[in-house]
Amino acid sequence: MTYCDGPKDDSAGGGARSVLRLFFGYLAKALLVAVPLLTPQFASVPYVRQMAIVGGDEKKAGALLSLVVLGLVFVYEAAERGIPRLDAARLRDDYLRQLVKKLPPEVARQLRFNVMIARRRWYMLFIGREFQWTASRGFDLCHRDVKLWLAAWQGVCGAAFRDQQVKFVDLRGVPPLEASCWKFWQNPFRLFKWQLQRTQHVQAILSVPMVLKRGDGGNPSFVKVGVINVDAVTNDGAEFLAANWEQMRKPLLEAGALLGAIR
């Protein structure tokens, strides 16, 4: 059976940093586009002309300039996107660990937690986003669904993400779901056959959307970021979720709002 329920930083320093990041981002891309125009001037620099790798050849100087600019763009992108994402993943993992510690040990051992962020990938094209695991607790290597790939429209988590509502599903007593290799729409969770096979041991799932609120006043907007999943692979864990999911809903929604703001 399925049940449903339906900090803002305005500091001047934060604004200045945002402007600088935007400026350097456009500058790096503009330099990349302007490489053909800058090549003659770059090749005429005495130090560049004397370099063995250039040997006075303007084409080689242009190739060297391109590599230098590409290196700058790579460093910028790593500093702007890669490092902050790693820091955000660590923060989510630390927060999730503290959240699990608040539960009685005998309960925490029966449950599994994971935080997934919905991201757009170039290979997804027009079919939407995919979930990226960023933190988890309670998963063992023997669990076949560790870091299971899911599109943002699949599973209980996909329904929670799409509807921006808490979803709880008790799978005990439910006949095993089946689907052919491609007819994933034959089951309510839109899972492919291989995904169903890897999740057959799951007995109950609680999925909470991570929604980021933007703006204040009477007309705020809400941005879907990802989901927090809590599931059980034992009967005792499923029993606990079935009896307590409504009480867990509010703290998990609050945690989702906080974790969603960590980008």
Give me the residues paired with residue 118 across strands. Answer: 131
Closest alpha carbon to 69 in 26, 44, 37, 35 = 35
Nearest residue to 155 (alpha-carbon basis) of 171, 172, 138, 135? 171
Q: What percent of the chain has pLDDT over 90?
A: 29
Confidence tier at 12 by pLDDT (50, 70, 90)? very low
pLDDT tens digits, 17-68: 556 666 666 666 666 656 655 566 555 656 555 555 556 566 666 666 667 7
- Sequence-separated (6 or more) residues with CB below 8 Å from residue 92: 115, 134, 135, 259, 262
* Confidence (pLDDT) at 86: 62
Confidence check: pLDDT of 229 > 90: yes
Residue 173 near residue 135 (C-beta atoms within 8 A): no
CA gap 254, 201 in Å, rounded = 29
Cα angle 161, 162, 164 (rounded to 5 degrees) comes to 60
pLDDT tens digit sequence for 140-190? 888 899 999 999 999 999 999 999 999 999 999 887 776 555 566 667 888
Determine contact, residues 31/76, Cβ cutoff 8 Å.
no
Residue the block writes with tokens 């803002």: 8
Question: CB pairs under 8 A, 24+ apart, for 21-30?
Answer: 21/80, 24/76, 25/76, 25/80, 28/69, 28/72, 28/73, 28/76, 29/73
Summary mean pLDDT of the chain: 77
Sorted by sequence, the CB contacts under 8 Å of residue 121 that are 6+ apart come out as 129, 130
Look at strands 130-137 and 166-170 and give their pairing. unpaired
Q: Which of 32, 124, 118, 125 is nearest to 74 (CA)?
A: 32
Report the phi/psi class of residue 190: left, alpha or beta, with left for phi > 0 and alpha for psi in -120 to 50.
Answer: left
Smallest Cα–Cα separation from 248: which of 223, 226, 225, 231?
Answer: 231
